[in-house]
Amino acid sequence: MRVVLDTNVLVSAALIAGGQEARILRAWRGGTFDLVVSPAILEEIGRVLTEARIRRRRWMTDDEVAMLLEGLAQESVLVLGGANIQVSRDPTDDKFLATAIEGRADYVVTGDRDLLDLGTYRGVRMIRPGPFAQMLARERREPSR
């Protein structure tokens, strides 16, 4: 399964160590799904995670954030994310859709209403972190056939 994580999911993972977003991040690190990213998404994640207001509140150290960003860049499926997609009410969200389409993702995991309201776009399902974390937990409990 291929997944795009919205910046808000990764920021929440950095702010709440035991939250569902952190569980999603651990599932990716454990190989449960393939993460699809683009340079624009990596840039946004790096910028937001190092903003002073986020930096003060996150549980991750600067070194852990640097390791996360390095891992995202090296261990994910990297696509250009340059497809000309203009679908979301918020044009800054289109990069997640472009990345998902180019990377043949199954899901965009997000808390962003502008993306969630799309439901599905070109076969890519928009899903909140909670239901996605529950789906991952169910898949781990069910034996493969």
Which tops the pLDDT comparison, 134 or 58? 134
In Å, how far from its chain's centre is CA 78? 13
pLDDT reported for residue 145: 47
Q: Which residue has 């709440």 as its token pair?
A: 16
Question: How far is 60 from 58, CA to CA, in rounded Å?
Answer: 5
- Going by C-alpha positions, the residue among 33, 19, 12 that lies closest to residue 140 is 33
pLDDT reported for residue 117: 96
Asked if residue 144 is part of any domain, the answer here is no
Asked if residue 125 is part of any domain, the answer here is yes
pLDDT tens for each residue of 131-143: 999 999 888 765 5
142: amino acid identity, one letter: E
Number of domains in the chain: 1
Q: Domain with 50 in it: what CATH number?
A: 3.40.50.1010
For 102, the 3-state DSSP assignment is helix
pTM: 0.91
Asked if residue 49 is part of any domain, the answer here is yes
Q: What Rg value do the Cα atoms of the chain yield, rounded? A: 15
pLDDT reported for residue 142: 59
pLDDT tens for each residue of 64-109: 888 989 999 999 999 998 888 889 888 999 999 999 999 999 999 9
Residue 43 has pLDDT above 90, yes or no: yes
Asked if residue 113 is part of any domain, the answer here is yes
H-helix or E-strand spanning residue 39: helix 39-49
For 127, the 3-state DSSP assignment is strand
Question: How far is 45 from 47, CA to CA, in rounded Å?
Answer: 5
For residue 37, list its beta bridge partners: 78
Asked if residue 22 is part of any domain, the answer here is yes
Asked if residue 145 is part of any domain, the answer here is no
- Residue 102's domain spans which residues? 2-139
Asked if residue 50 is part of any domain, the answer here is yes
